[in-house]
């Protein structure tokens, strides 16, 4: 399962989720933006950084990493990226490192030179297979449990999650984003089942209206670069008429930019060519 992308979406929609997992007040989320930040000189990228706004100079930075596989070099790499960031940006505020491990047995342990970080609570480790009733009831927490659920549990959880998303999220763009995410997790959990089988399993009345189905159709239609004529849904210049789902996706680009996503991340999230995104952004600037 592509867990990095799933959790990136989760933290974008539910920034309070990090603080719920840490046992902190959800109210802290209003002071932060969740971003992916590149350490330019060395081409490193920190995929999850909670940056506090300038009105809260004493609020710490949270560096967040999601790890769903064993990696003996993980802590060496993660700490190196953090200290490279500190050297490059020189923030005058404290920081915490947070690792969300898929399960406890994946954590190989902190290398000895970093052991003192545990004593000072700079590093906090969360094991997603040990989330229990101590965590508050929230849609974000329930989606994490859904990610970890067995296939037999998934069938029962899907209707409740979708209903909860529709009831709790008033913003229609975020609501659809969460529902699309739930559908994508379903597909990841059942990679060998056909569209018809998944539709029957989860009583999806009109699968053709789901984002996953539409993206699967478009995958063969949107190929190559936008320099020439692109067959299918996109023809001619990006400033011209862009039909159907592509036009709908591009309407969300300004919002995603305001949320702090880069053009590269937007292209990945919307499953569109990066040059399509860049030309659309340029067309809006003009």
Give DSSP secondary structure letters for 139-160: HHHHHHHHHHS-HHHHHHHHHH
Task: Enumerate residues 6+ apart whose C-beta is below 8 A from 155.
Answer: 201, 202
pLDDT tens digits, one per residue of 229-286: 333 344 444 444 445 667 778 878 887 777 667 888 788 888 888 878 888 887 776 5
| Contact yes or no for 46/81 (Cβ under 8 A) | yes
Q: How far apart are CA 106 and CA 65, in angstroms?
A: 14
Mapped onto helix, strand or coil, the DSSP state of residue 220 is coil
| pLDDT on residue 238 | 46
| pLDDT on residue 96 | 93
pLDDT lower than 70: segments of the chain: 1-3, 39-44, 133-136, 195, 199, 203-245, 259-260, 285-286
Neighbours of 61 (CB within 10 A): 19
Match 């209903």 to its residue by tokens: 163
| Contact yes or no for 284/255 (Cβ under 8 A) | no
| pLDDT on residue 224 | 41
| pLDDT on residue 174 | 81
Beta strands in 18-102 (DSSP E): 32-39, 44-52, 61-67, 95-101
Angle between helices 139-148 and 151-168 (to 10 degrees): 160
């Amino acid at each position: 399962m592509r867990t990095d992308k799933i959790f990136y979406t989760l933290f974008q929609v539910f920034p309070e989720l990090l603080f719920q997992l840490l046992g902190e007040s959800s109210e802290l989320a209003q002071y932060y933006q969740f971003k992916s930040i590149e350490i330019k000189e060395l081409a490193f990228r920190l995929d999850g950084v909670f940056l506090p706004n300038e009105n809260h100079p004493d609020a710490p930075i949270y560096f967040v990493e999601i790890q769903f596989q064993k990696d003996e070099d993980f802590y060496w790499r993660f700490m190196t990226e953090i200290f490279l960031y500190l050297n490059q940006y020189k923030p005058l505020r404290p920081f915490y490192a947070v690792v969300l491990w898929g399960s406890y047995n994946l954590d190989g342990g902190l290398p000895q030179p970093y052991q003192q970080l545990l004593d000072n609570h700079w590093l906090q480790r969360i094991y997603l297979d040990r989330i229990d009733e101590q965590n508050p009831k929230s849609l974000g927490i329930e989606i994490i449990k859904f990610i970890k659920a067995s296939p037999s549990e998934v069938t029962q959880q899907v209707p409740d999650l979708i209903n909860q998303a529709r009831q709790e999220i008033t913003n229609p763009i975020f609501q659809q984003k969460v529902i699309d995410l739930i559908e994508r997790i379903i597909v990841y959990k059942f990679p060998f089942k056909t569209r018809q089988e998944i539709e029957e399993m989860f009583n999806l009345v009109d699968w053709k209206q789901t984002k996953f189905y539409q993206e699967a159709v478009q995958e063969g239609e949107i190929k190559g670069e936008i320099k020439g004529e692109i067959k299918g849904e996109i023809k001619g210049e990006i400033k011209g008429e862009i039909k159907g789902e592509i036009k709908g996706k591009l309407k969300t680009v300004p919002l995603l930019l305001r949320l702090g996503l880069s053009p590269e991340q937007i292209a990945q999230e919307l499953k569109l060519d990066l040059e399509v995104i860049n030309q659309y952004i340029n067309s809006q600037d003009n």
